[in-house]
Amino acid sequence: MIDRRKFITKTALGTVAVGTLYSCVDNGIKPHDPQQKNGAVKEGEKKVKKPVLISTWNHGLPANEEAWKTLKNGGSGLDAVEAGVKVAEADPKVSSVGYGGWPDRDGKVTLDACIMDHEFNCGSVAFLQNIKHPISVARKVMEKTPHIMLVGEGAKQFALEQGFKEENLLTPEAEKAYREWLQKSEYKPVINIENHDTISMLAIDENGDLSGACTTSGAAWKVHGRVGDSPIIGAGLFLDNEVGSAAATGLGEAVIRTSGSAMVVELMRQGKSPYEACKEIVERIHKIYRNRPDLEYLQIGFIALNKQGEYGAYCLRPGFNYAVYDEEHGNRLIDGEYEIS
């Protein structure tokens, strides 16, 4: 098993663009400020911070970089989150998203993704195979069909009709990892390592509009046909442009069970800050799992961004980090605060 720290270093080196200096520390910024802890700031009381990007894990850094460029070139928040997460989808070294993603127990790479804009438009694909950019297919579902979600063969057929190319997404490295796993064929959703690390990205753009994207190859070695939280609007991703946005990473079953991202947004609607809202849902999940044998393997992280451009995150255990990009502090990686060690 690859040590998490080594894995982060390797992945960061593998994905960070040459010439760009990323900080792996907070640059003095707290993931939340005390004012936020006392509840969300009402619009009008404080200047809205925008644009702001927040995305999960260290592969969020290069993703944010691309998304920021897209915003600065006049792209919408939706364009930005799509362009951003595509960086992770295309990176063969990111073993939990898109090309290079680790396969299911039958050796097939199956992908889940969803996207949502500020007008409740959303699109999603699940159990999609052999298409490198599921997030772009999800956007097409949103824009070209009266539906929200397409799965499996139907999703692939739709993608091909839309001009996407079929390709093999199983890299030699992923195949090697699969062959090693096959020797024991033991499924354990081991926390905080390369077998599941979805990229979710939330944006508030120059207009103050929210958007979000979420894409993953899901849990490695999962049962063929398993779909996680990531393509499910309300679970892996949710936003309401009047309130805020939220997204999840970690064990998808726990997020689906609690309608995680939708709940984070509802808590922000009730006045909680992004940090407080994420924390409350993590605590709820922890309570549900307290007496379950799978608590041992459970990791869950939420990120949230509200209508004022304030962000926050919270996770169950140490090891989760997220990338934030804003005008004031640039792009940086922040360790998530956690519930239990």
Which residue ranges are tagged as binding site? 226-229, 249-252
Which residue in the set 218, 244, 309, 319 belongs to the binding site for ligand ASP (CB under 6 A)? 218
Q: How far is the CB of 141 from ligand ASP (least distance, A)?
A: 19
Of 64 and 192, nearer to ligand ASP (C-beta) is 192
330, β-bridge pairs? 326
Alpha-carbon distance of 94 to 260, in angstroms, equals: 24
Alpha-carbon distance of 186 to 87, in angstroms, equals: 31
Alpha-carbon distance of 132 to 217, in angstroms, equals: 11
Residue numbers 164-203 binding ligand ASP by CB under 6 A: 196-198
Query: Which of 11, 15, 70, 198 is labelled catalytic?
Result: 198
Instruction: Dump strand ranges (E) for 173-299.
Output: 199-204, 210-216, 237-240, 244-250
For the annotated binding site for substrate, the residues are 226-229, 249-252
Alpha-carbon distance of 333 to 56, in angstroms, equals: 9
Based on the shown chain and the rule CB under 6 A, indicate whether residue 250 belongs to the binding site for ligand ASP.
yes
- Angle subtended at Cα 226 by Cα 169 and Cα 302, rounded to the nearest 5 degrees: 90
**Residue 244 near residue 210 (C-beta atoms within 8 A):** yes
Assign 19 to helix, strand or coil. Answer: coil
**Residue 314 near residue 302 (C-beta atoms within 8 A):** yes
Based on the shown chain and the rule CB under 6 A, indicate whether residue 212 belongs to the binding site for ligand ASP.
no
Based on the shown chain and the rule CB under 6 A, indicate whether residue 219 belongs to the binding site for ligand ASP.
yes
Of 37 and 105, nearer to ligand ASP (C-beta) is 105
Of 101 and 309, nearer to ligand ASP (C-beta) is 101
Based on the shown chain and the rule CB under 6 A, indicate whether residue 229 belongs to the binding site for ligand ASP.
yes
Give the DSSP H or E segment for 69.
helix 60-72
- Token pair for residue 209? 């509009």
Based on the shown chain and the rule CB under 6 A, indicate whether residue 336 belongs to the binding site for ligand ASP.
no
Alpha-carbon distance of 117 to 107, in angstroms, equals: 34
Q: How far is the CB of 18 from ligand ASP (least distance, A)?
A: 28
Tell me the window of 201-209, 223-231, 259-267, 271-279 that interacts with ligand ASP (CB under 6 A): 223-231
Based on the shown chain and the rule CB under 6 A, indicate whether residue 252 belongs to the binding site for ligand ASP.
yes
Concerning whether 215 is annotated as a catalytic residue, the answer is: no
Please work out the total of residues on this chain that contact ligand ASP, with binding judged by CB under 6 A.
Answer: 13
Based on the shown chain and the rule CB under 6 A, indicate whether residue 36 belongs to the binding site for ligand ASP.
no
Q: Which residues are catalytic?
A: 198
Binding-site ranges for ligand ASP (CB under 6 A): 196-198, 216, 218-219, 228-230, 249-252
